[in-house]
Structure 1
Amino acid sequence: MNITVLGEAKFESPIGHSVSDSLLIPENIVIDPASTAKDDLKFELAGPRSKLFFDPKNTRAGIVTCGGLCPGLNNVIRSLFLELHHAYGVKQVIGFRGGYQGLDPVNGKEPVVLTPKFVHSIHKEGGTVLGTSRGPVDIRIAVDNLIQREVNMIFTVGGDGTQRGGNELFQEAKKRGYPLAVVGVPKTIDNDVAFVTRTFGYMTAVSEASKVLSNAHNEAISVENGIALVKLMGRNAGFVAAGATIACQDVNFALLPEVAFKLEGPNGFLAALKKRVLERSHALVVVAEGAGQDLFTADEMKKDDSGNIKAKDIGVFLRDTIGKYFKNENIPVVIRYIDPSYIVRSSAANSEDAILCDMFARNAVHAAMAGKTGLVIGYMHDRFIHVPIDLLTSRKKSMDPLSFQWKAVQASTGQVAQFK
């Protein structure tokens, strides 16, 4: 995939090694000789280039974090700054506060100038020291602000909504002829970003969620006919629920957005839950927030400020439905409904995610310094790549019901077949 470059790179890079633009990573590394499909997409390998477009001593960089919280945001901010400051020696790095609203000088807070002292220990904290928000900003005003502040590059840290905003910044700056490098760092605990095998924060969220599941299991087994129902985040993809289920190994039923299920009937979920309770006197059920949306009556879809469709509350719906079902069956049960919600995404990053954050950030800096723009750092086949923003935001990643991970969920729960 071709990546937009602002112009000829003329400045020598201070980095001791470099990567050539000619090195490409294929989307698919599994070769099927019988396949008649056309060649897969191929992406530039990320990394430092031998020549820079921007002169570091005259370069000013900006960072903005948007959307929901995610473990590792402060790690990314810190690593972006350290690479820009120490490795390249850029003139100044500023952090725009409060998400994209911070790009509006009227409505946003004054940006903070980042220093080694400011970022010294931020990686040990959850959340984002720059603050965040949902919703767009007037792109013309935002680019006016960036030009007035002589910002040469902007790093957009966020999910697909954030990256769509980054694409608008890129297009507006391009239209004006202003050389602005826009480089995105993909962020979401849902792990549903295309061309990214694992987004930062996902493994920390899975770890936190699996602790909740273990405690929920204790609640269920400590009473007669105990049913623990846990709702986890995952609007369009059930990767967090699936990962936590496999890690915990105590879950009996996992309900994900990618796999439809029926409630009623001899092969429905309620019948399977009844069988489990009668046989084992307890059950642990995990449901992703986007699962079972077809069970609700159709009405006007509501969206949040980032343009994402708001899911109906499947957790409360299942809690009430399960309670009513067992009452009608004259089977006494104790239901413990647990919704950890935002708790699993607000902690500091674990070691695995901290390393991933650092790599995403440093590769983003390398791309921007070389004058590359309109891209997001991707991660496939254990390699970091350059993905055009418009391509990345045109797709969504979800769990394949035929995948190894879903089969692992079924094996660990005993949920051999989904409820139909």
Structure 2
Amino acid sequence: MILPWFNSSPPEDFEKCVNLCYEPSNLSPNCNPSFDLKTSLSAAVKVSRASRSSVDLYNGGGSVRGPKIVRGDDGYVLEDVPHLLDYIPNLPGAKSPCVTHAIRIDKIDQNLNLKSSLSSSAAAAPVRASILARMSFVGKPRLKIVEGEAGYVLEDVPHLTDYLPDLPSYANPLQNNPAYSVVKQYFVNVDDTVAQKIVVHKSSPRGTHFRRSGPRQKVYFESDEVHACIVTCGGLCPGLNTVIREIVCGLYHMYGVTKVLGIEGGYKGFYARNTIDLTPKSVNDIHKRGGTILGSSRGGHDTAKIVDSIEDRGINQVYIIGGDGTQKGASVIYEEIERRGLKVAVAGIPKTIDNDIAVIDKSFGFDTAVEEAQRAINAAHVEAESVENGVGVVKLMGRYSGFIAMHATLANRDVDCCLIPESPFYLEGPGGLFEYMEKRLKEQGHMVLVVAEGAGQDLIAESLRSMNQEDASGNKLLLDVGLWLSQRIKDHFAKRPNMPITLKYIDPTYMIRAVPSNASDNVYCTLLAHSAIHGAMAGYTGFTIGSVNGRHAYIPFHRITETQNKVVITDRMWARLLSSTNQPSFLNSQTIEDSKKEETPTQLLDGENCNENGSLDARESQLI
């Protein structure tokens, strides 16, 4: 037995151990039943590393050194870049100055070795030359898991044939579409997947993957049988109309679908009989407008009534655009449709201006929001620097996460302090906000402060809070931290007659989300809409679409609703912001350590997430 990821045979005892675990009927009499698979495999990998994982430096002729190649397991090849140590081996090293910053980027005290990785349910499966694929539906929601060798895990999405096994398939009409006739290898292989993590160590398990989006050779709907509908729910977001337009036009121009309904007013529009016919002509220029032509609402989700309406109208493709609450509702709709055995594909397109949806790189409308926020920050800066001791306060959206505030601050470079929900702060005392403001005003005579709407809620007096109040979508109602903070700043400096301030407060919240999407978001919305169409036509259902490491993928509903994406204050992006604004972190060492234990970094911190032996720490960072 030769494993495909070794150049030479592994040790004999390792082969016997794999046979013991995988083929008990073929067990050799010489096998030790108590042999430890993990120990044996670890030993085999060490042999493999000794023979393959060395750095091969090839001379390319003359004085130019050839490529620097590092080879690892499972066909892993790293085309490395040169390092000064390659030709100055005794070069002394120094500790990075980053560790002396206001917020230290310390090592995360965790360990991930090969043995613990292989003890996971996927990696502990016997390693074979061909992929071992098996489906398991467990719990609620039911998970469709495909496991392969070397720790490969595919979190698959449902397919209509899972509960309609005799469903016929048809040739994809794109084969006859002149617009796509020149595209080479246009159809996506059914086995193509997208890795959730692309920054890995050479000995890391292959990890979680998602089904790659795109058109398949076979579809499960004929063009004239498709009766699609589109619904938008929740708050407004730049790009909603673009997604609507591209679903309608994509269905028509790519698949010849002519019957598309628009459900007005959110989920309740399904059973309130509010619908409009959507055609390429009627949606031709809606991408130039803000908001949504279908209208929107929060709440109104009655699963039985919604599915009854879908069934009564003969709808067989449902496109649902909305945030995490909307996607939870879409998941429930899919489950009811499956329970009834209906041939209806349910596709979700995640929407939130806050960019706090898990797994995906970003949500549509985020780029537009950051760009639009620049106008408010620029206005605050002009106001602040035009008077002595001028202070400009700008409140931006960000109920639970501060991505808009952080990115807008980094993009603008005129901001002196940024406050977000993930980073607690305090006002009084050494290292507090007021002390920093006094210092900044003495240095430059003005100051601009950006605050996310969810920041500082713990500081607002209990009598003024709305902790137990929620909107129709279940979101906690927050008081205006911008107004509260502005008043506290005024009160503080009123006690210092030698430093009178002039404060201007700007709240561009609804200006930011009500504008049309910019060029970048328009392109992104188009790709999301087309990916959703291809998935539904190929028979996939119960999925949401998003970009994962730059590749669009079909993601199970539960993966984007089980948690929220948040700014990680022990990550390099937040460190860049602190370096840009020169603000204090407002954190003590214990808070930093607690944050590291609770949150997963969004990026690898060069060398800081690694153990002394070079292996990655247990919580490899999840890329945004």
The answer to whether the aligner puts 1:11 opposite 2:170 as a matched pair is yes
Instruction: Please say if 1:188 is aligned against 2:347.
Output: no
Q: 1:31 aligns with which of 200, 208, 212?
A: 200
What residue is the counterpart of 2:416 in the other structure?
A: 252
Q: Distance in 2 between matches of 1:94 and 1:245?
A: 41
C-alpha deviation, 1:4, in angstroms: 0.6
- Normalising by structure 1, we get a TM-score of 0.96
Q: Which residue identity lines up with residue 326 of structure 1 in the other structure?
A: F
Give distance in 2, aligned partners of 1:173 and 1:116: 28
CA distance in 2, matches of 1:393, 1:26: 19
Contact 2:436 2:583 in 1 (8 A): no
Residue deviations 1:228-284 (CA, integer Å, cap 9, x gap): 101000011111111111111100000011111111111101111111112221100
The 8 Å contact of residues 58 and 91 in structure 1, kept in 2 or not, is answered as no
1:418 positional shift: 3.3
- Share of identical aligned residues, percent? 41
Instruction: Pick one of 380, 395, 400 that aligns with 1:231.
Output: 395
Structure 1 CA distance for aligned equivalents of residues 571 and 244 of structure 2: 34
Q: 1:74-223 counterparts in 2 under 5 A?
A: 74-105=241-272, 110-223=274-387
Once the two structures are TM-superposed, the CA of residue 380 in structure 1 deviates from its matched residue by 1.1
Partner Cα distance (2:252, 2:408) in 1: 38
Distance 1:309 1:48 in 2: 40
After the TM superposition, which residues 325-336 of structure 1 pair with which residues of structure 2 at under 5 Å, given as runs?
Answer: 325-330=492-497, 331-336=499-504
Deviation of 1:402 after TM superposition, in Å, equals 2.5
Q: TM-score when scaled to structure 2?
A: 0.65
The count of residues paired between Structure 1 and Structure 2 equals 415
Instruction: Tell me whether 299-308 or 72-81 shows the greater mean CA deviation.
Output: 299-308
CA contact (8 A) 1:126 1:346 kept: yes
Structure 1 residue 409: Cα displacement = 1.4
Partner secondary structure for residue 385 of structure 1: strand
Structure 2 gaps of 5+ residues are 1-154, 162-166, 176-185, 589-624
Paired residue for 1:369?
Answer: 537
Question: Which 4+ runs in 1 deviate beyond 6 A?
Answer: none
Secondary structure class of the residue paired with 2:458: helix
Q: CA deviation at 1:174?
A: 1.1
Deviation at 1:33, TM superposition (A): 4.8
1:378, CA displacement in angstroms? 1.8
- State whether structure 2 residue 572 is matched by structure 1 residue 404: yes
The higher-RCO structure (CA 8 Å, 6+ apart) is 1
* Greater Rg by CA: 2
2:510 counterpart residue number: 342
5 Å matches for 1:241-280? 241-280=405-444
- Indicate if the aligned counterparts of 1:268 and 1:419 stay in contact, CA closer than 8 A: no
Give the distance between the partners of 2:170 and 2:312, measured in 1 at CA.
24
Note the C-alpha offset of 1:39.
5.2
Q: 1:127 to 1:309 in 2, by over 3 A?
A: same
Where does the alignment leave 5 or more consecutive residues of structure 1 unmatched?
none
- Contact kept, 8 Å, 2:258 with 2:279, in 1: the verdict is no
The answer to whether structure 1 residue 295 and structure 2 residue 459 are counterparts is: yes
Shift of 1:9: 5.3
The letter for the 2-side match of 1:253 is C
Q: Which residue of 1 aligns with 2:108?
A: none
Task: Tell me the distance in 1 between the aligned counterparts of 2:487 and 2:203.
Answer: 50
- The code of the aligned residue for 1:14 comes to P
Aligned partners of 1:19 and 1:94: how far apart in 2?
28
- Give the CA deviation at 1:408: 2.3
Counterpart contact for 1:127–1:348, Cα < 8 Å: yes
